[in-house]
Amino acid sequence: MDAVEKANADRQRQWAKDQKIGEGAYAVVYRGREVATGRKVAIKKIKVGQFKDGLDMSAVREVKFLRELKHQNVIELLDVFSSKKNLNLVLEFLETDLELVIKDRSLVFLPADIKSWMAMTFRGLEFCHRNFILHRDLKSNNLLIAADGHLKIADFGLARDFADPGYKMTCQVITRWYRPPELLWGCRYYSSAVDIWSVGCIFAELMLRTPYLPGETDMDQLKTIFRALGTPSEDDWPGHSKLPDYVPVGQFPKTPLRDLFTAASSDCLNLLSKCLVYDPRRRISARAALDHPYFSALPYPSHPSKLPKPVKKEAAVSLEELDGNADGGGLDVRAGNPNKLKRKHSSDDLSRPVARRLDFS
Residue 267's CATH number: 1.10.510.10
The answer to pTM > 0.95 is no
137 is catalytic: yes
Strand extents, DSSP E, the chain: 15-23, 27-34, 40-46, 77-83, 86-92, 96-97, 133-134, 143-145, 151-153, 160-161
Query: Which residues form the domain of 118?
Result: 99-141+161-305
Classify residue 144 by its DSSP letter.
Answer: E
- Backbone phi, then psi, for 44, in 5-degree steps? -105, 110
Task: Indicate whether 52 belongs to any domain.
Answer: no
Name, in order, each residue with C-beta under 8 angstroms of 139's C-beta and a sequence gap of 6 or more: 99, 175, 177, 178, 198, 201, 202, 330
Task: Indicate whether 67 belongs to any domain.
Answer: no
In DSSP notation, 41-66 reads EEEEEE-GGG-TTSS-HHHHHHHHHH
* pLDDT (tens digit per residue) in 29-50: 899 999 999 999 999 998 765 5
Task: Indicate whether 70 belongs to any domain.
Answer: no
Task: Indicate whether 289 belongs to any domain.
Answer: yes
pLDDT of residue 49: 59
Domains: count for the chain? 1
Task: Indicate whether 133 belongs to any domain.
Answer: yes
| Whole-number Å distance between alpha carbons of 307 and 288 | 25
| Amino acid identity at 52 | K
pLDDT of residue 55: 57
| Whole-number Å distance between alpha carbons of 66 and 80 | 11
Task: Indicate whether 234 belongs to any domain.
Answer: yes
- Residues facing 40 on adjacent strands: 33
Q: How many CB atoms lie within 10 A of CB 236?
A: 15
For β-strands 27-34 and 40-46, DSSP reports them as antiparallel
Nearest alpha-carbon partner for 153 in 326, 268, 317, 288: 317
pLDDT of residue 85: 74
Q: Could you tell me the mean pLDDT of each successive run of 10 residues in the chain, 361 residues long?
A: 83 92 80 94 81 64 91 96 86 94 96 98 98 96 96 93 82 97 97 97 98 97 98 96 95 95 97 98 98 97 96 52 38 35 34 35 35
Catalytic residue, candidates 97, 104, 113, 137: 137
Task: Indicate whether 167 belongs to any domain.
Answer: yes
Task: Indicate whether 243 belongs to any domain.
Answer: yes
